[in-house]
Amino acid sequence: MLHTVNKSPFDRNSMETCLRLAKKGSAILLIEDGVIAAMQGTIQSANIENATDAFDVFVMGPDLKARGLSEDNLIDGVKVVDYSGFVDLVEERGSVNAWL
Amino acid sequence: MAEFEFETEGVKKTFTFMNRKAPYGTIYALEVLETVLITAAFEQHANIVFVDDGVYQLKSGQDTAAINMKNFSPTYGIIEMEKEDADEDEDIDMNWRIIVEKESLEARGLTTDDFKVDVEVLSAAELADVIDASDCVIGG
């Protein structure tokens, strides 16, 4: 299953709940404001830092770019994808759970 | 005008509905509820799940008269009836579960006595398996 999170962890608990209820081994894709969760050095960073072993964590490159967030500051283990990468994930992972 | 025919004969899937918002503050709860009822019309399997503030949707004693909004909480009673009908009637191939996450419940100081319908309480780990095993997840 592919889980998408589109809310900032500073705004909503969507990512926190996703991490609690996603089955280990699932893919998690951070999109829109969700990309904020992938940045190093925030008080929320530990959540994703601790998740990269149990999950395949991806972040949407165009959403980082739009917000002026550099890929250099991503948490280690987070992989950047573009829109076609998103499509590939949907195809590979079977079904999508969009955490709103 | 073209006519569409939907090939739904024999199609049976398990839908999981993730209710994560309290009622009335946003439209999410009501919209998910409408979708759950459509699932019944097509005789599909459904996990109706309540986590985070979504657990407040099931609170008994809701009275919206003073906020000029429709109290849609009686509809959860309809869902419970649909579930019970499906459980009892052998001719209906529809497995429904009404599930509340234990962690969300405890975080809010609620117990199942606060709810207007009977629910299954599952831990986060148990619920993760249920979600992962479903064919389609509707967020809300």
Mean pLDDT value of segment B51-71: 97
Instruction: Report the predicted TM-score, pTM, of the whole model to 2 decimal places.
Output: 0.92
| Residue B96 pLDDT level (bands cut at 50, 70, 90) | very high
Residue of A1, A23, A97 with shortest CB distance to B139: A97
Mean pLDDT of chain B: 95
B64-76 mean pLDDT = 96
pLDDT at A15 over 70: yes
Count how many domains chain A has: 1
Closest CA to A22 of B125, B14, B120, B106: B125
Q: Which chain B residues are within 8 Å of A23, Cβ to Cβ?
A: 128-129, 131-132
Range of the structural domain that residue A80 is part of: 2-99
* Length reported for chain A: 100
Find out whether B139 and A98 touch, Cβ atoms under 8 Å: yes
Among B101, B132, B137, B138, most A C-beta atoms within 10 A, so best to mutate, is B132
Cα–Cα dist A95/B135, whole Å: 7
Question: What rounded mean pLDDT belongs to chain A?
Answer: 97
Residue of A nearest to B49 (CA): A21
Query: Is the CB of A100 inside 8 Å of chain B's CB atoms?
Result: yes
Q: Please choose, from the candidates A32, A41, A33, A43, the residue with its C-alpha nearest in 3D space to the C-alpha of residue A73.
A: A41
Give me the domains of chain B, ranges plus CATH numbers: 14-139 (3.40.1260.10)
Contact predicate A84/B118, CB 8 Å = no
CATH number, domain containing residue A56: 3.40.1260.10
**pLDDT tens, A23-58?**
999 999 999 999 999 999 999 999 999 999 999 999
Q: Quote the CA–CA distance of B37 and B63 in Å, as a whole number.
A: 22
Q: How confident is the model at residue B1 (pLDDT cuts 50, 70, 90)?
A: low
DSSP string, B95-115: -EEEEEEHHHHHHTT--GGGB
Residue of B nearest to A94 (CA): B135
**Cα dist from A2 to A26, A31, A87, whole Å:** 6, 12, 11
